[in-house]
Amino acid sequence: MSESTSAPDPFWKKLWRSAVREPYTGDRRSRLRLVMNNLILHLHPAQVPVRTLRFTYSWGLGGLSALLVVLLAVTGAMLMFVYTPAPDQAYQSILALNTQVWYGQLVRNLHHWAGNALVVVVALHLLRVFFTGAFREPRAFNWLIGLALLLLTVVANFTGYLLPWDQLAYWGITVGAGILAYVPVVGNWLSQVLLGGPEIGPATLLNFYGLHLSVIPIAMLFLMSLHFWRVRKDGGLSVPRGVDEAPVLKDENVTTFSDLVRPEAVWATVTLTALVLWSMFVNAPLEPLANPDLSPNPAKAAWYFLGIQELLLHFHPLIGAIVIPGLALAALAALPYLSGDMDSVGVYFRSRRGRWLAAFSAAAGALLTVGYVLVDEFYLDLPALLPSLPTLLSNGVVPLAALLLGLIGYHGAMRRFFRATRCEATLSVFVLVLTGFIGLTLIGIFFRGPGMALLWPWEVAGH
Which stretches of the chain bind another protein, using CB under 8 A? 171, 174-175, 177-179, 181, 192-193, 195-199, 201, 203, 207, 292-299, 312-313, 316-317, 383, 391-392, 395, 450-453
Q: In angstroms, what is the minimal distance from the CB of 323 to another protein? A: 15
| Among 77, 75, 58, residue whose Cα is nearest residue 276 | 75
Judged by beta carbon, residue 317 or residue 346, the one nearer another protein is 317
- Distance between CA 280 and CA 68 in Å, rounded? 17
Q: In angstroms, what is the minimal distance from the CB of 179 to another protein? A: 6
Judged by beta carbon, residue 385 or residue 453, the one nearer another protein is 453
Judged by beta carbon, residue 92 or residue 391, the one nearer another protein is 391
Q: In angstroms, what is the minimal distance from the CB of 165 to another protein? A: 16
Phi, psi for 198 (deg, rounded to 5): -70, -30
- Whether the CB-CB separation of 65 and 73 falls below 8 Å is answered with no
* Beta-carbon count within 10 A of 218 CB: 10
- Distance between CA 78 and CA 83 in Å, rounded? 9
Judged by beta carbon, residue 317 or residue 354, the one nearer another protein is 317
Residue type, 169: A
Q: In angstroms, what is the minimal distance from the CB of 187 to another protein? A: 12
Q: In angstroms, what is the minimal distance from the CB of 144 to another protein? A: 23
| Among 377, 407, 389, 368, residue whose Cα is nearest residue 314 | 377
| Sequence-distant (≥ 6) Cβ neighbours of residue 171 within 8 angstroms | 295, 296, 299
* Beta-carbon count within 10 A of 119 CB: 18
Judged by beta carbon, residue 37 or residue 295, the one nearer another protein is 295
Judged by beta carbon, residue 186 or residue 367, the one nearer another protein is 186
Judged by beta carbon, residue 8 or residue 451, the one nearer another protein is 451
Judged by beta carbon, residue 259 or residue 376, the one nearer another protein is 376
Strand (E) or helix (H) holding 255 = strand 253-255
Q: In angstroms, what is the minimal distance from the CB of 299 to another protein? A: 4
Q: In angstroms, what is the minimal distance from the CB of 441 to another protein? A: 16
- Distance between CA 81 and CA 316 in Å, rounded? 43
Burial of 169 (0-12, 13-18, 19+ CB in 10 A): buried
* Beta-carbon count within 10 A of 142 CB: 21
Q: In angstroms, what is the minimal distance from the CB of 197 to another protein? A: 5
- Whether the CB-CB separation of 83 and 163 falls below 8 Å is answered with yes
DSSP state of 81: T
**What DSSP string describes 283-320?**
PPP--SBP-TT---SS----GGGHHHHHHHHHS-HIII
Residue type, 402: A
Q: In angstroms, what is the minimal distance from the CB of 384 to another protein? A: 10
Judged by beta carbon, residue 330 or residue 380, the one nearer another protein is 380
Judged by beta carbon, residue 264 or residue 376, the one nearer another protein is 376
SS3 134: coil
Burial of 206 (0-12, 13-18, 19+ CB in 10 A): middle
- Distance between CA 30 and CA 22 in Å, rounded? 8
**What DSSP string describes 270-285?**
HHHHHHHHHHHHSPPP
Burial of 384 (0-12, 13-18, 19+ CB in 10 A): exposed
Q: In angstroms, what is the minimal distance from the CB of 258 to another protein? A: 47
- Whether the CB-CB separation of 238 and 132 falls below 8 Å is answered with yes
- Distance between CA 226 and CA 220 in Å, rounded? 10
Q: In angstroms, what is the minimal distance from the CB of 330 to another protein? A: 24
Judged by beta carbon, residue 177 or residue 237, the one nearer another protein is 177
Give me the sign of the Cα torsion angle 25, 29, 31, 35. Answer: negative
Q: In angstroms, what is the minimal distance from the CB of 72 to another protein? A: 25
Judged by beta carbon, residue 312 or residue 423, the one nearer another protein is 312
